[in-house]
Amino acid sequence: MAQDAPQPATTVSGKKLLIMRGDGANPEQFGEPVGLTTKGLKFSAATTKTSVPDAANPNDNPMWVQNEVKELSAQVTGDGICAVESFALWQADMFAGVARNYRVKLDNDQLGYFYAPYILTTWELTGTFGDKVKLKVTLDNDGPVQYAANL
């Protein structure tokens, strides 16, 4: 009996994960700051735990833990080189201490993007003799994160 040909999964190249910063204009334009070579988007759920006893044998059986989600959060991370072209953007966002609109996109025709206001909570520069200055950034959501499908 003949087997069906393997169907490899459709994947997206790592360089197609885009962190796009809004310019605050009306209409707002989004562009990717220069220099980030590793990027990430992490969603988390904080829960409350309640120990619930067994109704039939509360003294003989262990309790089960039940969780309820109390809050959701998202964090965008990036690191790479400190590009002179993007230095002023990161500096302005860090010292402003206010949220800015960002989009995180998997650049593929079948996929959309996540969007929300984010606050730059970490801006780290490191340098090693004989190498380029490195950059690390962390952005934390400031309100709900939404998803816009690519229609």
**pLDDT tens column, 118-147:** 999 999 999 999 999 999 999 999 999 999
Confidence (pLDDT) at 133: 97
- pLDDT, tens only, 53-110: 999 988 889 999 999 999 999 999 999 999 999 999 999 999 999 999 999 999 999 9
Neighbours of 146 (CB within 10 A): 10
Amino acid 113 reads Y
Phi, psi of 56 (to 5 degrees): -80, -40
pTM here is 0.87
Confidence (pLDDT) at 68: 96
Confidence (pLDDT) at 2: 72
Provide mean pLDDT across the span 35-62.
94
**pLDDT tier at 3, thresholds 50, 70, 90:** confident
Residue 37, pLDDT above cutoff 70: yes
Residue 151, pLDDT above cutoff 80: no
**pLDDT tier at 150, thresholds 50, 70, 90:** confident
Confidence (pLDDT) at 81: 97
H or E element in which residue 125 lies:
strand 113-126
Longest dimension (CA), the chain: 69
Q: What one-character-per-residue DSSP string does 88-103 give?
A: HHHHHHHHH-S-EEEE
Domains in the chain: boundaries: 23-43+73-148
Give the whole-angstrom CA distance, residue 76 versus residue 71: 17
